[in-house]
Chain A
């Protein structure tokens, strides 16, 4: 585990050299390849070194982080071409990746907290550094303060646990059972805001709208999954109190997921629509985790990975349109099929994965989550049906509004897709639909 950390740390000087944009990406790809061959096949922590380790749950999410970082660099070629603080951008991406890597691989709760919060800083810098509108300052503040406001209780909770149990190792959490509702609230609220749960999701659409493509990709791809990862890890020692209080979050998430899907129909900003759709998906993930059964856990894990790839790909697509039309409005991005028929295919594929069409990971995750929620209470069927139906609705709305019909007559110039973009989209879509063939890897944790 240490070697990957060292590799990333020693990639930092590479970022500051001239014309090393693609080199950094290549190195990350190399690292991805090495990490893939790490061979984590156990449900226990393996590859222990110092305080880092990795089991299947963190393995998948670290892979996703490296993958999304590669694709972030790939999507931000514009910065390289315009030489818009490329070195700092690359440094930021690597720094963010280090933070995420440590968050997912650390065994210590405090270290987890530290890197969990630490990953906010590069994200914030991405948004206010490479965003487009002046409103990005406000969006950055929203991002920071929403998550910080609830993360300080998490810190106190972690110290309380240390005081009680004299132990902050994540693996040993399963031997404890703390039945304390203040601890419960302080432990999970940070993750619920990060996910984000309905009612505390306001920072997400704002951040997405203002973020550059790389910021959006990492936000949707990994940052939301941090919350899910934290919940999956920390649910275990709160079992008793979970059984009493979890239904609150399940109900909020299920109803909220339906409401959010309806709100998606009122969006006219592509990115905002995708952001709202990821809130809707995350709401099912939250309820799946809060159910506390096996199906729910694996389902939320699979859906997190699937959604990470899918929504990141959709943000890429939104950016591809934005780079050509300089607008994210649905009224201007119209009839794109006439200009980029091949890109329309990718829109359709990623959109269909977003609405959980087979054989995507999203469908697998959604099936498991529906199974888990239905085994909790079959009345949740109603909300699940509505969420699932409207997810198709807004995905098709997004697709057909952008791709179908007449194009905006004020377009001055236009260029078609380049192979970098197609490759990037393929690298989003392919794992999303191929991984389902070996999905039983995600079943062997715990």
Chain B
């Protein structure tokens, strides 16, 4: 295992990287020739309904697969060092590979039944990855993650039965054709619900920060760039159908609120991974909201660029946590740019790409999205949610940057920060490169013609205004000392509300399980151990016992009474026989 050349990490890395290259070339070929390949394998068919395993290869699926392969290959390479002393490294790598496999199945299936293979697989494998560490926190987080995702699975199952109306489960054929159908409306709203669970939109957001209990490479791959974007990807595929739906407007509101809520909560958070997780949540809200405005290509664009810099951000966080002796609290960190310049470089660039600093990856997608938001016909609330969230992104990114890079180092007086872990750094540099160039590269690649945007000066500068304000606030708040933090106690309830993600973790764990577990308990007590038992087995036994005791009294008592009753019965019988004819 110690031999680098033949380790499972290296072999998997090599394989995934090769797959990435293959997908890359195919993607270019497909995009140039405008090609789509649809393959079907029939599993069963009767009554003119057929269940098929479909595979759809077009530039979108190939491009997404290429990105997933790229991130997963570098993440596995990174795990070689990060999971170095792990006893069950093979298990870990196999789980990650299974995850990639499920993701691929999800990406290439345009069929609502065969998509289940990937969709359920993602939920189950991500559950295994979240509970990878054997502690109570990961246990709870895993359960929350799996059950939140299961809600989406159930919605997909129900969608299957609604699709029965059309005679086939290849949804891509019905998206435009059946647009105004009532059944299609049900399907659409359920698909949106399913996508909201996978992409952690507002009623289901609590699992995403909780899933940070997973090992950091998993967070980099699963909970930032691939699994959580599965919902967005599904909606991109379904986009044609959703355009006129009322539910889409609801989605716009919910995703806008998700973006805003996550942005605020990230500012209250001190856990390094959770900050990044919340920023993922905020970006997911951005993708979802731009999708629900009817611009799926922009959502896809942002999905891909975001995957790059967010994976990088998580990998930097992993390296920092590794060096900080497994401490994730950013209050212990500070001034690390002096000790680990290369990691800090990656961290800063990915953070800036996240903020949308010009000509990094995030700039191309985010700026375009925000300009199109200003360009389109929206109400004030959605508009403000977008711009406030953009400002908040800047806010928490600068706060994080200040906490990590600028302030004093606050850990123990003996520490060992080193920047020579080249396995991790090499894999990070791949993503560093991508998070610089992928924005421009993708914008040239996937948009066949440029968007024409015509805005007044102030609206055009709006992004820069909110970013500057956000950055300044981030700088100020990172300078806040511990006694100022205590001033938050003055607004205790508000702070509680905001930093606990609007109470969503509580609501989706204790809030739900309490009622259902209580109901189950009382059903068990009252029906299984109560009424059912009384009116069947146990009750019958009691009745039988009672009557046999009763008859025993007759038989065991005076023999004369027994004989007398016998004679009376004989007499009655005799009388009946006599008077019968």
Which of A199, A366, A370, A436 has a CB less than 8 Å from the CB of B43? Answer: A436
Residues of A within 8 A of B46 (CB): 294, 440, 443-444
A270 to chain B, nearest CB (A): 16
Q: Does B139 have its Cβ within 8 Å of any Cβ on chain A?
A: yes
What is the interface residue range for chain A against chain B?
A: 35 or more
A221 to chain B, nearest CB (A): 23
Q: Which of A99-107, A241-249, A384-392 contacts B (4 or more CB under 8 A)?
A: A384-392
Which of B136, B154, B164 has a CB less than 8 Å from the CB of A405? Answer: B136
Residues of B within 8 A of A337 (CB): 134
Q: Mark B139-173, 1 if CB is under 8 A from A, else 0.
A: 10011001100110111011011101000000000
Rounded to whole angstroms, the CA-CA distance of A336 and B256 in the bound complex is: 44
List chain A positions with a Cβ less than 8 A from chain B. 141-142, 145-146, 199-200, 202-203, 259, 262-266, 294, 335, 337-338, 341, 348, 352, 357-359, 363, 366-367, 370-371, 373-375, 381, 384-385, 388-390, 392-393, 396-397, 400, 404-406, 436-437, 439-440, 443-444
Q: Does B422 have its Cβ within 8 Å of any Cβ on chain A?
A: no
Q: A370-B160, A392-B146, A404-B134 known; A265 and B517 CB under 8 Å?
A: yes
Q: Is the interface of A mostly helix, strand, loop or mixed?
A: helix
CB–CB A437/B43 < 8 A: yes
CB–CB B523/A263 < 8 A: yes
CB–CB B537/A142 < 8 A: yes
Q: Does B91 have its Cβ within 8 Å of any Cβ on chain A?
A: yes
CB–CB A358/B116 < 8 A: yes
CB–CB A352/B124 < 8 A: yes
Q: A396-B143, A404-B134 known; A439 and B121 CB under 8 Å?
A: no
19 A-B pairs whose Cβ atoms sit less than 8 Å apart in the complex: A199-B527, A259-B523, A262-B520, A264-B520, A265-B520, A294-B46, A338-B134, A341-B91, A357-B121, A357-B124, A366-B157, A371-B161, A388-B153, A389-B147, A393-B147, A397-B143, A400-B139, A404-B139, A405-B139
Which of B44, B142, B150 has a CB less than 8 Å from the CB of A393? Answer: B150
CB–CB A202/B537 < 8 A: yes
CB–CB B121/A371 < 8 A: no
CB–CB A200/B536 < 8 A: yes
Rounded to whole angstroms, the CA-CA distance of A145 and B541 in the bound complex is: 11
Q: Does B521 have its Cβ within 8 Å of any Cβ on chain A?
A: yes
Q: Does B128 have its Cβ within 8 Å of any Cβ on chain A?
A: yes
Rounded to whole angstroms, the CA-CA distance of A338 and B91 in the bound complex is: 13
CB–CB A405/B158 < 8 A: no
CB–CB A262/B523 < 8 A: yes
B238 to chain A, nearest CB (A): 19
Q: Name B117's closest neighbour in chain A (CB-CB).
A: A358
Q: Does B533 have its Cβ within 8 Å of any Cβ on chain A?
A: yes
Which of A141, A406, A439 has a CB less than 8 Å from the CB of B44? Answer: A439
A120 to chain B, nearest CB (A): 16
Residues of A within 8 A of B540 (CB): 145
Residues of A within 8 A of B121 (CB): 357-358
Q: Does B9 have its Cβ within 8 Å of any Cβ on chain A?
A: no
Q: Name A351's closest neighbour in chain B (CB-CB).
A: B124
Which of B45, B139, B155, B532 has a CB less than 8 Å from the CB of A202? Answer: B532
Rounded to whole angstroms, the CA-CA distance of A439 and B516 in the bound complex is: 36
CB–CB A203/B537 < 8 A: yes
Q: Name A348's closest neighbour in chain B (CB-CB).
A: B128
A76 to chain B, nearest CB (A): 28
Which of A202, A259, A367, A393 has a CB less than 8 Å from the CB of B536? Answer: A202
Q: By CB atoms of chain B within 10 A, which of A266, A357, A358, A400 has the most?
A: A358
Residues of B within 8 A of A146 (CB): 536-537
Residues of A within 8 A of B124 (CB): 348, 352, 357
Rounded to whole angstroms, the CA-CA distance of A294 and B49 in the bound complex is: 12
Residues of B within 8 A of A202 (CB): 528, 532-533, 536-537
- In chain B, positions 37-72 with a C-beta closer than 8 Å to chain A are 43-47
Rounded to whole angstroms, the CA-CA distance of A388 and B160 in the bound complex is: 14
